[in-house]
């Protein structure tokens, strides 16, 4: 899922400086399940903002709204009718949601209340580990389902570097060496030989290196021009 | 009690106590039955479990002017 | 939760968690007494000062 983290209150207060009436807008999808920007977090932040601004002697009027998905027009359009009441919208959605709001509603600016951090797996309660970098050219099929792009500090494609120490990454001792994990899994399936093929350089043009990416599915478009 | 009276007297903090129905709430009940004296300005809120209380409710209490908060399980 | 309060600008001492069994009436009364005393020293919730008297009971 897309994972984010709430910005510190001080940073949010700075972003909102000068605003009198604010709408805190949450999203009911990814950021809800990672506890960063769902209905509850919207309530907490709105309450914090009301209290903080009151204590700072510039009380803000803060209201709350959470939509099912802030990254789809259908879900955010119903917000339009109440938007002109606000000086600013503070979105607790991911970066996509914030931009969707700004693209859809020209009259009011939407500011980010969280930092969108990663595509992560909630490995246990309260811990999210990065698992995907959306590189655009999935190689999980050659690495026994474990991604060296997202999980190797150096994004190596042909085995571990010299810094792999007893299964731990030299960059961060909390990070397992992903090539150790891949190797162990290859042994488990008795297919170590498959790892001995040299991988040629990855096609990064399918990732961010090729510029902003765009998918066009003509079969899904309502009308073609 | 009028506001004027309140400010002239010693500050009487308004405390909200979120009490677990099975532990602290029952203890508060017993305190009443035992005629124990404790500050009258405490407002007891019965919750099914102290784990039920979440930050949002606590913030709302402060937002509405409560002076202190007790979570008793 | 206490860091939330500090972020806003309220003292973290305004909140306390205690544990007791249903038979601990004396401890309950004591906890309320302690909390009242502690908050009395901290003074009123600053958010109350700007609040209208209409919210008073």
Domain span holding position A97: 2-117
Which pLDDT score is estimated for B9?
57
Cα–Cα distance measured from residue A182 to residue A225, given in angstroms and rounded to the nearest whole number: 47
Q: What is the 3-state secondary structure (H, E, C) of A127-181?
A: EEEEEECCCCCCCCCCCCCCCHHHHCCCCCCCCCCCCCECCECCCCCCCECHHHH
- Residue of C22, C40, C42 lying closest to C32 (CA atoms): C40
Look at residue B3 and tell me if it is in a domain.
no
Which pLDDT score is estimated for B4?
47
For A25, the 3-state DSSP assignment is strand
Residues A139 and A91 in one domain: no
- Per-position pLDDT tens, chain B of length 73: 444 444 545 788 999 999 999 999 999 999 999 999 898 889 999 999 988 899 999 999 999 999 999 999 8
B4-24 confidence digits (pLDDT tens): 444 545 788 999 999 999 999
SS3 content of chain B, % helix, strand, coil (to 5): 40, 25, 40
Cα–Cα distance measured from residue A27 to residue A97, given in angstroms and rounded to the nearest whole number: 8
Look at residue B5 and tell me if it is in a domain.
no
Residues A143 and A104 in one domain: no
Domain count, chain C: 1
Cα–Cα distance measured from residue A128 to residue A192, given in angstroms and rounded to the nearest whole number: 29
Residues A25 and A104 in one domain: yes
Residues of C with CB under 8 A from a CB of B: 1, 4-5, 8, 10, 14-33, 35-36, 38-40, 42-45, 47-48, 51, 53, 55-57
Q: For strand A114-124 and strand A2-6, is the pairing parallel, antiparallel, or unpaired? A: antiparallel
Q: How far is CA B68 from CA A13, A56, B13, C2, C33, in A?
A: 25, 20, 7, 12, 12
Domain count, chain A: 2
Look at residue C14 and tell me if it is in a domain.
yes
The band of C49, judged by pLDDT with boundaries at 50, 70 and 90, is low
Q: What separation, in Å, do the N-terminal and C-terminal C-alpha atoms of chain C show?
A: 28
Tokens for B35, please give them: 């005629």
A184-217 confidence digits (pLDDT tens): 999 999 999 999 999 999 999 999 888 999 999 9
Domain span holding position C17: 2-46
Domain span holding position B49: 15-72
Suggest the residue from C7, C44, C50 to mutate for an interface test with chain A (most A CBs closer than 10 A).
Answer: C7
């Amino acid at each position: 899922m897309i994972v984010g983290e709430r910005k510190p209150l001080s940073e949010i207060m700075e972003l909102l400086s000068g605003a009198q009436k604010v709408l805190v807008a949450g999203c009911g999808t990814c950021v809800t399940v990672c506890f960063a920007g769902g209905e509850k977090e919207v309530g907490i932040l709105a309450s914090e903002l009301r209290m903080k601004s009151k204590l700072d002697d510039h009380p803000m009027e803060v209201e709350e709204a959470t939509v099912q998905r802030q990254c789809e027009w259908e879900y955010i359009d119903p917000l339009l009718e109440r938007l002109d009441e606000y000086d600013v919208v503070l979105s607790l959605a991911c970066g996509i949601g914030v931009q969707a709001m700004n693209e859809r509603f020209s009259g009011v600016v939407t500011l980010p209340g969280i930092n969108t951090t990663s595509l992560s797996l909630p490995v246990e309660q309260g811990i999210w580990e990065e698992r995907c970098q959306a590189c655009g050219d999935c190689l999980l099929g050659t690495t026994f389902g474990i991604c060296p792009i997202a999980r190797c500090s150096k994004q190596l494609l042909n085995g571990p570097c010299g810094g792999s120490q007893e299964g731990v990454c030299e960059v961060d001792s909390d990070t397992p060496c992903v090539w150790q994990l891949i190797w162990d899994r290859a042994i488990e399936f008795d297919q170590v030989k498959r790892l001995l093929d040299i991988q040629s350089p990855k096609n990064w043009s399918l990732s961010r290196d090729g510029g902003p990416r765009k998918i066009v599915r003509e079969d899904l478009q309502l009308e073609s021009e | 009690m009028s506001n004027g009276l309140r400010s002239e007297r010693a500050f009487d903090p308004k405390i909200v106590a979120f009490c677990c129905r099975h532990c602290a709430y029952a203890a508060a009940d017993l305190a009443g039955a035992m005629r124990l004296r404790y500050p009258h300005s405490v407002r007891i809120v019965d919750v099914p479990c102290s784990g039920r209380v979440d930050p949002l409710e606590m913030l709302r209490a402060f937002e509405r002017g409560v002076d202190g908060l007790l979570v008793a399980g | 939760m206490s860091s939330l309060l500090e972020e806003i600008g309220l003292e973290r001492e305004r909140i306390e968690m205690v544990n007791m069994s249903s038979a601990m009436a004396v401890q309950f009364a004591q906890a309320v007494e302690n909390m009242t005393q502690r908050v009395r020293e901290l003074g009123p919730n600053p958010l109350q000062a700007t609040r209208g008297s209409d919210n008073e009971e």
